[in-house]
Amino acid sequence: MSGSPVAVPSFGQRLQQTFASAGHLCVGIDPHSYLLTDWGLDNSAAGVREFGLRVVEATAGRAGIVKPQVAFYERHGSAGFAALEDVLREARAAGLLVIADAKRGDLGTSVEAYGQAWLTPGSPLEADAMTVSAFQGVGSLTQPAELAARVGKGLFVLTATSNPESVALQTATITRGELTGASVSAGIVTGVNSWNAAPLGSIGVVIGATVRLSDYGITDEDLAVTPILAPGFGHQGIGFDALHRVYGSAAGNVVVSSSRAILEAGPYGIADQVTVQARELAAVFAA
């Protein structure tokens, strides 16, 4: 007689556990061409594989989250994806929470397949969460969101990104439906939160550290149970001391992403730089 099925911890629960045990720092795995050169690696599938594995090794035990930028692997075709599979597998084996920065988005069975590729347990590309786009509406992400809920995975929906080209579109006003009058970004937050529950949901948003929430019609109260993936720290000039100013009472939900500011330390300095940034960030939360 089989027992009752074991409940799978939600991504929100696992994210909270990671925050408590390893902090909020997320190390980006972004093998830019210039970084590969600086690291003495070839701009090839073998090079990006080695780069990613070195970042994983330097992060494990010093921070709890990594975020591979899929595009830098995808440009090397099938060999690049094979390299990424190795990096994802080693990161998860090291106990790191892995966010695949894939920025996928589509409709129906297509977006369902994207979710299956990145979120299905045992998939070659399995990650703990993935970034997605809601340009076709938050409802278009229902199938990957439901998959994430079933298997303990997460999504981060592009919402208020840190690139200046996004501002006009993301602050535009919705003119139809029940969200009439809200900004596009605020509408995304509302849609995302329909899937979330206290204390922390599994469907998050991407809100850059360079933005002001008020410009997008968003308040920190709107993000009370919402995971936030926050690029823009470090290389874009935003220090960790801005965390509470930007995200207010929702700062405790923030995955603080730092990429080039860490990676530019090089293969022999990256571990120390991860340690330094993790300690600096911990001090901000302890203040």
Tens of pLDDT, residue by residue over 83-134, are 999 999 999 999 999 999 999 999 999 999 999 999 999 999 999 999 999 9
Share of the chain above pLDDT 90, in %: 93
Catalytic one among 103, 235, 244, 260? 103
Query: What is the average pLDDT across 153-179?
Result: 95
The residue to which tokens 């330097």 are assigned: 58
Query: What is the average pLDDT across 20-40?
Result: 98
Query: What is the average pLDDT across 173-184?
Result: 97
The residue to which tokens 């981060």 are assigned: 156
Of the pLDDT bands very low, low, confident and very high (cuts 50, 70, 90), residue 287 is confident
Beta strand pairing status for 65-68 and 228-230? unpaired
Contacts of residue 143, defined as CB under 8 A and 6 or more positions apart, other chains included, come to 108, 111, 112, 115
Q: Is 151 exposed, middle or buried (0-12, 13-18, 19+ CB in 10 A)?
A: middle
- CA angle 13–16–19, rounded 5-degree value: 155
Alpha helix stretches (DSSP H) within the chain: 11-22, 33-38, 45-59, 71-74, 77-93, 108-119, 142-151, 167-170, 184-193, 243-247, 260-263, 270-286
Domains located in the chain, CATH noted:
11-286 (3.20.20.70)
First to last CA, the chain: 53
Beta bridge partners of 211: none
Tens of pLDDT, residue by residue over 210-268, are 999 999 999 999 999 999 999 988 777 789 999 999 999 999 999 999 999 999 999 99
Active site residue 153: no
Q: What is the mean pLDDT of the chain?
A: 96
> What local confidence, expressed as pLDDT, does residue 137 receive?
95
* pLDDT for 1 beyond 80: no
For residue 170 the two structure tokens come to: 């993301």
Contacts of residue 27, defined as CB under 8 A and 6 or more positions apart, other chains included, come to 55, 58, 59, 63, 65, 66, 67, 258, 259, 262, 274
* pLDDT for 4 beyond 70: no
Distance from C-alpha of 187 to C-alpha of 138, rounded to nearest angstrom: 9
